[in-house]
Chain A
Amino acid sequence: MADTQKLVSLRTCDNVLHKVPEHLTLQMRTIRNLLSCKIFSDTDTVIPLPNVSSQMLEFVIKWCEAIGPGDKALGSMQLSTLLTATLPDLEESELVYDLMKAANYLEIESLLEATTQHVADEINNCNSLESVCELFGLENDIGPDDEEGEWW
């Protein structure tokens, strides 16, 4: 357990097997929980990640490396900046949503905070309710005769 070179096998949804150093996976609460179960022996366990793609996992690994092992309490703005610094090609693409999904599943606190902050900023850039709905593909299903109308 003290061996930092211990590798954890993760299989992503595109059926690729990744071997990740354990100390990085410790940031992922999901994996950490799984590994803490004594049933798993060291080398044979393959943990599947059915909703994480290889690309996402690579991003996640880069992030975990950037964050480092310490439990530094970074503010969400700082995390967001760190996100854009570590993963520059995330900016223009929609990948940040997938990354958020992956972070949500793997329960990586810091990455979840960074990505949600990013998305929150995006919402704030929306000018109207319709654009918010459009941005996320959500249907505005609040009827007109609902409890109260809009108030502002």
Chain B
Amino acid sequence: MGSRASSLLREEDIDEIKKETGFSHSQITRLYSRFHSLDKGENGALSREDFQRIPELAINPLGDRIINAFFPEGEDQVNFRGFMRTLAHFRPVEDNEKNKDMISGEPLNSRTNKLHFAFQLYDLDRDDKISRDELLQVLRMMVGVNISDEQLGSIADRTIQEADTNGDMCISFSEFTKVLEKVDVEQKMSIRFLH
């Protein structure tokens, strides 16, 4: 029903999440309803299967990588705080004007953090470098069986060549940022949340 869900969320929790993520009160309660409706096991946490049950996400070529981004290293469950923390990356940037008193450090939805989120889609082993193998793996996920290994290999090589400035045949986060500096990250990695 998505109904009584909000009564399980305490006001203190909502305030903390508000400070950490910048979402408004009503947005947090609506997202909690959504979290609750995805949580089929009703244990206050989502597993990977809960995400896989969304058909449009299951057919997304990068679906598994996106789902992975919600789960901290080595864990199989994500609670509502973690869910909101990940979603906060996709808040539009201009909304920050309303929340000047954020916790110190950059807000979760800054341009840098958005780029970092995307970077981690490629960086499978989280060593802060995109190696040729990692790039190939992600490319293979996106194209399926439609492109040959050799072709994919040359695409990967070309991409690394263009981005790599320090010659280590890997793409570091700063090189990643440099290549994409003209891309409108703020708009392309943001979702317009209502009210």
* A pairs with B: no
B residues at A contact (CB < 8 Å): none
